[in-house]
Amino acid sequence: MIERLKGLAVRHVKPHLSDDTWARLRGGTDPVRPDLTEIARRTGTDKWGLHFYTPHYERHLAHLRDEEFVLLEIGVGGYARSGQGGGSLRMWRRYFRQAQVVGLDIEDKSFVDRPRMTTVQGDQSDPAVLESIVERFGVPRVVIDDGSHRPEHVKATFDVLFPLLPSGAIYAIEDTQTSYWPEFGGSEDRDSPDTTMGLVKRLVDGLNHEEFLDPDYTATYTDTHVRAVHCYHNLVVLEKGENLEGSNKRSVLRKRYGRASAAER
């Protein structure tokens, strides 16, 4: 009888509870759940194996594992090949048990759609497409750009989506190696401002915008709203949040600012 009741609970109660809640009801400790890398292996995404992104993602996203939120991934995979792609969307859906996972791709990937996992067909550089996704599903807390990897598309997508995100959001850009490949719109000039990494380098400078000495400089939106920039091999993870800590430059650079004050008088 007891075993029968346990079986009924597993079939009819467990599917409606989080793993942690189920473990507490059973009187046990937190269950051992597969990490993101293990889930990536099972779902066949190239975020582990071809690339090694999953440990970095787990470091920055584990706190959201049991939260309800919207995750938007740009690029579903498989290109125009029929019935291919969606490995990373399945990975996110299994890892984040409460999240709505949305995938945007230039090709029709609707075969991937499942409860809590929906694809949208469209161009990542089209503001109307991006804004319609936000209107339909809500503002994402996580955005992952694994789309065309062309700098002009990466920058266009970032310019539209990043200002819409809430404080605490995570914005990731994958496969930044294309910044150095002219065949993908990149440049062999590592100081080129027109590549994805050119954008990232400006964001890193922007972290310290309050230390700039140019009196005519006006802080940009990203200067004041990018809280952290984490750079890994071919992956960049941005944290959104207020970046207005202030500066001690006037007290340290007294001669510089003292002369300026005298000149003004």
Q: Which residues are catalytic?
A: 149
Residue 73 CA to residue 68 CA, distance in Å, equals 16
Nearest in space to 36 (alpha carbons), one of 112, 119, 144, 132: 144
Residue type, position 139, single letter: V
Residue 101 CA to residue 128 CA, distance in Å, equals 20
Instruction: Look up residue 100 and give its DSSP letter.
Output: E
Phi/psi zone of residue 64: left (φ > 0), alpha (ψ -120 to 50 degrees), beta? alpha
Distance set, CA 63 to CA 21, 23, 66, 90, 95 (Å): 16, 19, 8, 19, 11
Strand ranges for 123-169 from DSSP E = 142-145
Residue that has been written with the tokens 């100081």 in this structure: 191
Residue 154 CA to residue 146 CA, distance in Å, equals 9
Distance set, CA 125 to CA 54, 106, 130, 177 (Å): 26, 10, 8, 19
Burial of 248 (0-12, 13-18, 19+ CB in 10 A): exposed
Q: How many residues does the chain have?
A: 265
